């Protein structure tokens, strides 16, 4: 069976994790700080905070911005549930937006959804393909949109407009107009979950890139405290001789990353662009070459003018089929010992959100994309021969279903 997305666990990862274990310091410490600095350089942003997951990072930043009951947060209908659940945890209301042809939030639809209650927009770079950040940035700064904004907290007054919080769970290394994902929004959150391009088993990172008068370095220090119970000193600095006293001034969270996780991240970030992304691009190119010969195949965009993907997931669509045919194709692919997936079931189709009154009929493009979509395996250890096996399994499954 060809698996869908196993992590790369090679000797380098094992050595780095072993070194962290042997160091005697396993929770947040020097390795986490070093990983934060590497990510800061990588994304070219003023500060990066590592967290226990992307979900924790997203919620932390919504809470920091003061998002609460009565507020609205704009998200794509086509994403993983984490993007919307953090909004619900804050007591706020998610406002779903339909997709574009490229699977990402349809930026043209955002403006109509903005009300006096809108506090944040969370674009998602689906499959690693960056959203139209210039459009979103221009929109939140447009006079009539700024005039609509009703700030309720010090942070909201300071920014004076809707905050752009990018869910970059898929798009570490993606590039938009020459800039890396991380430096494109006010705040950007990466995920290092086991299936993501760079993994620390579980983990995430928050890139701080807020405009003046915010001080991102000061904010980083504040977030270190909020992500660790609100305690004024972390465990490592409390170990310094005589430095045991601490205070708690606000209710914090327990969202910190451990040095064991950071050890994996340090091993991967060094070889991310020159090795991981190169390999993933080769896989995308090979799928495109093999499947592109077939008129039924609709290939995903991953390199166009101004946008380069992080090659996270290969979202193939089959032209002119319905959801049942897609499901049938998937079972015929699995029957050939090849694992595939669907990214994602649009949120308005899931019970939780359906129960809140959302209806997939209002998101026709998201539904169309979903109903014809099959995600193919993309990972470091996927060999050329395996890519061929996958592509051939897809071709034979599609042709069987189309001929019946
Ligand atoms: C994986 C994922 C997340 C959540 O990441 P965690 O690190 O598991 O919390 C959020 N958004 C999207 C789009 C994802 O795919």
pLDDT of residue 243: 86
Cβ of 216 less than 6 Å from ligand 1: no
Unique residue bearing structure tokens 């669907």: 342
Q: What is the 3-state secondary structure (H, E, C) of the chain?
A: CECCCCCCCCHHHHHHHHHHHHHCCCCCCHHHHHHHHHHHHHHCCCEEEEECCHHHHHHHHHHHCCCCCCCEEEEECCCCHHHHHHHHHCCCEEEEECECCCCCECHHHHHHHCCCCEEEECCECHHHCCCCHHHHHHHHHCHHHHHHCCCCCHHHHHHCCCEEEEEECCCCCCEECCEECCCCCCEEEEECCCCCCCCCCCCEEEEECCCCCCCHHHHHHHHHHHCECCECCCHHHHCCCCCCCCCECCCCCECECCHHHHHHHHHHHCCHHHHHHHHHHHHHHHHHHHHCCCCCEECCCCEECCEECCCCCEEEEECCCCHHHHHHHHHHHHCCCECCECCCCCHHHCHHHHCCCCCHHHCHHHHHHHHCEEEECCCCCCCHHHHHHHHHHHHHHHHHHHCC
The count of other CB atoms within 10 Å of the CB of residue 170 is 28
pLDDT in tens, 322-372: 999 999 999 999 999 999 999 999 999 999 999 999 999 999 999 999 999
Cβ of 76 less than 6 Å from ligand 1: no
**Ligand 1: centre distance to CA 167 (Å):** 8
Cβ of 204 less than 6 Å from ligand 1: yes
**Ligand 1: centre distance to CA 187 (Å):** 15
CA dihedral 367, 126, 302, 36 (to 10 degrees): 180
Ligand 1 atom closest to 53 (CA): 7
pLDDT of residue 241: 86
pTM of the model: 0.98
**Ligand 1: centre distance to CA 25 (Å):** 27
Most ligand 1 atoms within 8 A of CB, residue of 55, 122, 174, 366 to mutate: 55
| CB neighbour burial string for 287-313, b if at least 16 within 10 angstroms, e if fewer | bbebbeebebbbbbebeeeebbbbbbb
Beta strand 307-308 pairing with 204-208: unpaired
pLDDT of residue 234: 85
pLDDT of residue 209: 98
Cβ of 83 less than 6 Å from ligand 1: yes
Cβ of 347 less than 6 Å from ligand 1: no
Beta strand 179-180 pairing with 175-176: antiparallel
63, 88 in Cβ contact below 8 A?
no
pLDDT of residue 347: 98
90, 59 in Cβ contact below 8 A?
yes
User: CATH 3.90.1150.10 occupies which residues in the chain?
Assistant: 272-402
Cβ of 32 less than 6 Å from ligand 1: no
Ligand 1 atom closest to 56 (CA): 9
pLDDT in tens, 45-66: 999 999 999 999 999 999 999 9
pLDDT in tens, 219-240: 999 999 999 999 988 888 888 8
- Provide the β-strand partners of residue 303: 308
**Ligand 1: centre distance to CA 80 (Å):** 7
Percentage of the chain lying above the pLDDT 90 cut: 96
**Ligand 1: centre distance to CA 257 (Å):** 16
Q: Give the architecture-level CATH label for domain 272-402.
A: Alpha-Beta Complex (3.90)
* Mean pLDDT over each residue of the chain, to the nearest integer: 97
Residue ID of nearest Cα to ligand 1 atom 8: 193
- Those residues of the chain that have pLDDT short of 70 are none
42, 183 in Cβ contact below 8 A?
no
* 53 Cα distance to chain centroid: 11
pLDDT of residue 404: 86
Ligand 1 atom closest to 82 (CA): 10
User: CATH 3.40.640.10 occupies which residues in the chain?
Assistant: 11-269
Q: Which of 43, 78, 75, 104 is nearest to 301 (CA)?
A: 104
85 preceded by a cis bond (ω within 30 of 0): no
Which residues, in sequence order, are CB contacts of 142 under 8 Å at separation 6+? none
- Which fold does the domain 11-269 belong to in CATH? 3.40.640
Ligand 1 atom closest to 126 (CA): 13
Rama region for 103: left / alpha / beta (φ>0; ψ in -120 to 50; rest) = left
Give the separation between CA 238 and CA 153, rounded to whole angstroms: 32
The count of other CB atoms within 10 Å of the CB of residue 247 is 9
């Amino acid at each position: 069976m060809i698996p869908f997305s196993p992590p790369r666990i090679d000797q380098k990862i094992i050595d780095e994790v072993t070194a962290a274990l042997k160091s005697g310091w396993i929770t947040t410490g020097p390795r986490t700080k070093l990983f934060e600095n590497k990510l800061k350089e990588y994304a070219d942003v003023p500060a990066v905070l590592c967290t226990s997951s992307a979900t924790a990072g997203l919620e932390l930043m919504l809470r920091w911005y003061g998002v609460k009951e009565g507020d609205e947060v704009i998200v794509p209908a086509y994403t993983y549930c984490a993007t919307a659940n953090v909004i619900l945890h804050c007591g706020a209301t998610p406002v779903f937006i339909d997709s574009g042809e490229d699977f990402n939030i349809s930026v043209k639809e955002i403006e109509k959804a903005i009300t006096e209650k809108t506090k944040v927009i969370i674009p998602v770079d689906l499959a690693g393909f960056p959203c139209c950040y210039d459009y979103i940035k221009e929109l939140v700064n447009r006079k009539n949109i700024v005039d609509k904004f009703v700030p309720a907290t010090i942070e909201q007054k300071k920014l004076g407009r809707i905050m752009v919080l990018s869910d970059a769970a898929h798009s570490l290394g993606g590039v938009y107009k020459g800039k890396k994902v991380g430096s494109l929004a006010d705040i950007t959150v990466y995920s290092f979950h086991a299936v993501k391009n760079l993994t620390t088993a579980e983990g995430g990172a928050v890139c701080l890139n807020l405009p003046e008068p915010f001080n991102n370095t000061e904010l980083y220090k504040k977030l270190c405290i909020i992500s660790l119970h609100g305690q004024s000193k972390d465990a490592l600095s409390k170990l310094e001789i005589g430095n045991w006293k601490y205070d708690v001034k606000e209710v914090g969270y327990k969202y910190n990353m451990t040095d064991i996780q950071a050890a994996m991240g340090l091993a991967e970030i060094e070889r991310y662009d020159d090795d991981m992304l190169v390999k993933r691009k080769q896989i995308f190119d090979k799928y495109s070459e093999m499947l592109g010969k077939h008129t039924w195949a609709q290939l995903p965009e991953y390199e166009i003018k101004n946008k380069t993907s992080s090659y996270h997931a290969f979202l193939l669509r089959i032209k002119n089929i319905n959801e049942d045919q897609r499901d049938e194709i998937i079972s015929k692919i699995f029957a050939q010992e090849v694992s595939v997936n669907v990214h994602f079931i649009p949120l308005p189709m899931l019970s939780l959100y359906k129960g809140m009154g959302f209806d997939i009929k209002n998101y026709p493009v998201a539904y169309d994309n979903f109903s014809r979509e099959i995600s193919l395996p993309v990972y470091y250890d996927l060999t050329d021969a395996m890519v061929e096996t996958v592509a051939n399994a897809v071709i034979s499954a599609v042709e069987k279903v189309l001929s019946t």
